[in-house]
Chain A
Amino acid sequence: MPENEKPKPKIDLNRREMPKQAHHVRSHNFFEVALGYTAQLAMEEAQRCLQCKKPFCVADCPVNIKIPEFIHAVAEGDFATGIRILKERNSLPSVCGRVCPQEEQCESHCALSKKGGTIAIGRLERFLGDWEGAQAEAALPEMASPTGKKVAIIGGGPAGLTAAADLIKAGHQIVIYEALHKMGGVLYYGIPEFRLPKSIVDREVDYLRRLGVEMHTDFVVGKTRSLESILEEFDAVFIGTGAGLPWFMEMPGNNLNGVYSANEYLTRINLMKGYSYPRNDTPIKRHKKVAVLGGGNVAMDCARTALRLGAEATIVYRRSRAELPARLEEVENAEEEGVQFRYLTLPLKTIGDDHFNVTALECQKMELGEPDASGRRSPVPVPGSEFILPFDCVIHAIGNGPNPLIPQTTPGLTIGKKGNIVIDLDTGKTSKERVWAGGDIATGAATVISAMGAGRKAASSIHEFLMS
């Protein structure tokens, strides 16, 4: 039917809200905060999509999901087709639907965004992923016939999992080596249960296993076996070992008991399930007053975790609310749950008692000055404004450097100033023959989806190399 004969539909700007646990309930449990769309809500939301001929949403997706197509299928109630379209480009829909910053990517250029009715692309993606998870068994995609080529993936996080999925579908044999005892990397040890249930990570990993990906946990490449020796057995290697080196703010008192890196705090909780201690053996201290230094998503995760463990949690951030790098949704969730925010506050020193336990944080007031290179107004200390806040726990959530194990143990890899592996950004190729890299190990700590995008780019370059 020609376009002009279609009756013009009335634009529905009512973005369907996703049900959540009430804040006073969820702040005391580790269950997922958001509950997901029902089929009815998902269809209503999908039916609002204008199905643009030139979809800007797709252009802003790091993995180029065919967004209007999958949304169309949801609108029709054909969820099986929807998930098939989605999975052509994204092997981890339930994960991405939860943790991607859609508001900065696909959703930011939705044709309805100017009118205030942006389509909830992330929520629909999540709905489809979860819908499939609830089915007896996920359908397997079409696989290319075996090429006889072998690719090793170092690191079982989002970059590695995406590269693995793409390459196995292209017919190559894939082996993933993961250092920890669980697959998923930061999805497992970093992002808390209440934001990304581990059962979902397990499910998406299991899907890859069903595709035929071989996985070795408890295997530290660079230690258990060198990358060189892996290269002898494989045609190509992808390194996605992530940003596994915690940074601490440079100040006195960092080695007191009660001071944590965000990685340690979250790993104790997520990977080691410290919240169910003593049922699980790894303990986490039940601190009373927790300070979290930093203003990113990881800082929000730490503060909200501390809250759930019964503490009073405070984000200490040297700029103001407007400059918080965390997703707005996460900030709002934290605020609703009762996390306190100390803006324009610079920590100077962690103070401890005779037993090396944290008792307080010495801070200084800041004011906003001229915009800096990042365009954000840079904070300037107010002289003589030092003050002391009582805390028994201080968590440093100011970011992570690239994990040094592979850079240190692999000759021939060009390493950048920050310890990252230098790659060609278009292909993921490193300076070393037959070795690709991507995600945080190459480009510094960023988002799950950008790591997935890097995994995808590298996979396509590896595929091209293997087939030539």
Chain B
Amino acid sequence: MVKILENKMIVPNICMITVSAPEIARSVQAGQFVIVRADEDGERIPLSVSDWDVDQGTITLVYVLVGKTTQRLATLTPKDNLPTVVGPLGNAMEIDLFGKVACIGGCYGLASIYPIARALKEKGNRVTIIVEGRSSNLMYWQKKLKSVSDQLIVITRDGSQGIQGHIGNLQTLLARPDMLPDRVIVNGCNYLMMRAAEETRPLNIKTIVSLNTLMIDGTGMCGVCRLTVSSSTKFACVDGPHFDAHEVDWDELAQRRKAYLFEETQLLRSSQPQEC
């Protein structure tokens, strides 16, 4: 049983949970994830570790309310425990002195990109963080992100903060001579990552994405997370979750992500309160 220390909605539809997990806090590295179960009959879902505190023995996860498990997770309070938080799983993000690095985050990726930017900055890279969202009220962790970057660029679709635009403007932005990064790292929904990959491809910039696939055990045992990367099959949980964005078969990934869409939707409907 894992103790919940804090669990709150930070912007509409996105929550942040901090749990006591000293062993994980001690060994986690930027870019790794944990598998969480919200209750005994619950499914196992992967969530990125977005921050941790070795001294306090805590880890922090940011999650989007999309399905039954995340909805259920959002109802839990520090009085509750989580039956499972296991990890850290997956490989760490490759951290090296690349020179100029652009870290791009959308959605939960604003949070999961944070430890990656932090590690890159500590290594001595010039880090630009670009966050993208519909509107300014969906932006969070900006202070934290500023503290681990040389520059924070905000893109909103409605122009309520920063540059008005969307991920499709990335190529123009990155092509600026003062910007042109040696490496791009993208965290967010698969659509954002796929679009970002298309934006950096013409610029020929090595782009790493942290994929979120379906998972069960997260230790290489089931293979539901498999995807095609430069024509060979990889398991996101043990070979990834970080892959070269220009080598990922995005169509296949998108279709595999939707494999259980019907069941997931059905579950949400059936979990609505039936009676008062």
Q: Which of B37, B89, B258 interacts with A220 by CB under 8 Å?
A: B89
A279-331 with Cβ < 8 A to chain B: 279-283, 285
Task: Please tell me if the beta carbons of B228 and A244 are within 8 angstroms of each other in the complex.
Answer: no
Number of interface residues of A (CB under 8 A): 41
When each residue 179-211 of chain B gets 1 if its CB lies under 8 Å from chain A and 0 otherwise, what string results?
Answer: 000000000000000000000000000000000
- Per the bound structure, the CA–CA distance linking A181 and B44 in Å amounts to 10
Task: Please tell me if the beta carbons of B256 and A257 are within 8 angstroms of each other in the complex.
Answer: yes
Task: Please tell me if the beta carbons of A280 and B87 are within 8 angstroms of each other in the complex.
Answer: no
Q: Which of A181, A224, A355 interacts with B37 by CB under 8 Å?
A: A181
Q: Which of B87, B217, B233, B238 interacts with A254 by CB under 8 Å?
A: B233
Task: Please tell me if the beta carbons of B267 and A224 are within 8 angstroms of each other in the complex.
Answer: no
B68 close to A (CB within 8 Å): yes
- Per the bound structure, the CA–CA distance linking A404 and B91 in Å amounts to 13
Known: A264-B224, A272-B216. A224 touches B86 (CB 8 A): yes
A133 close to B (CB within 8 Å): no
A170-193 with Cβ < 8 A to chain B: 179-181, 189
- Per the bound structure, the CA–CA distance linking A47 and B69 in Å amounts to 55
Task: Please tell me if the beta carbons of B216 and A281 are within 8 angstroms of each other in the complex.
Answer: no
A422 CB → nearest B CB, Å: 20
Say what secondary structure dominates the interface of chain B: mixed
B42 CB → nearest A CB, Å: 5
A239-253 with Cβ < 8 A to chain B: 244-246, 248
Report how many A-B pairs have Cβ atoms within 8 Å.
119
| CB-nearest residue of chain A to B69 | A281
A220 CB → nearest B CB, Å: 6
Task: Please tell me if the beta carbons of B84 and A283 are within 8 angstroms of each other in the complex.
Answer: no
Task: Please tell me if the beta carbons of B216 and A264 are within 8 angstroms of each other in the complex.
Answer: yes
Say what secondary structure dominates the interface of chain A: loop
Q: Which of A179, A260, A263, A273 interacts with B86 by CB under 8 Å?
A: A179
Known: A181-B86, A224-B87. A263 touches B221 (CB 8 A): yes
- Residues in B with CB closer than 8 Å to A356 are 252, 255-256
A28 close to B (CB within 8 Å): no
B136 CB → nearest A CB, Å: 34
Task: Please tell me if the beta carbons of B23 and A225 are within 8 angstroms of each other in the complex.
Answer: yes
Task: Please tell me if the beta carbons of B84 and A218 are within 8 angstroms of each other in the complex.
Answer: yes
A206-227 with Cβ < 8 A to chain B: 217-220, 223-226
- Residues in A with CB closer than 8 Å to B88 are 223-224
A277 close to B (CB within 8 Å): yes
- Residues in A with CB closer than 8 Å to B83 are 181
**Interface size class of chain B, counting residues whose CB lies under 8 Å from the partner chain:** 35 or more
B130 close to A (CB within 8 Å): no
A349-372 with Cβ < 8 A to chain B: 355-356
B222 close to A (CB within 8 Å): yes
B98 close to A (CB within 8 Å): no
- Per the bound structure, the CA–CA distance linking A277 and B43 in Å amounts to 10
Known: A223-B89, A272-B44, A281-B41. A248 touches B221 (CB 8 A): no
- Residues in B with CB closer than 8 Å to A218 are 84-86
A278 close to B (CB within 8 Å): yes
B223 close to A (CB within 8 Å): yes
B75 close to A (CB within 8 Å): no
Q: Which of B217, B252, B266 interacts with A179 by CB under 8 Å?
A: B217
B259 close to A (CB within 8 Å): yes
Task: Please tell me if the beta carbons of B222 and A224 are within 8 angstroms of each other in the complex.
Answer: no
| CB-nearest residue of chain A to B89 | A223
Task: Please tell me if the beta carbons of B27 and A282 are within 8 angstroms of each other in the complex.
Answer: no
A268 close to B (CB within 8 Å): yes
B24 close to A (CB within 8 Å): yes
Q: Among the interface residues A260, A280, A283, which one has the most CB atoms of the partner chain B within 10 A?
A: A283
Given A179-B217, A278-B270, 7 new contacts (CB under 8 A): A181-B84, A223-B89, A226-B27, A246-B223, A255-B226, A257-B255, A261-B223
- 8 tightest A-B contacts by CB? A283-B263, A356-B255, A264-B222, A218-B86, A244-B221, A281-B43, A261-B223, A282-B43
Interface positions of A (Cβ within 8 A of B): 179-181, 189, 217-220, 223-226, 244-246, 248, 254-255, 257, 260-261, 263-264, 267-268, 271-273, 277-283, 285, 355-356, 403-405
16 contacts between A and B (CB under 8 A): A219-B23, A220-B87, A220-B219, A223-B87, A244-B221, A245-B220, A248-B223, A255-B256, A257-B255, A260-B224, A264-B216, A271-B216, A277-B263, A277-B267, A285-B260, A355-B255
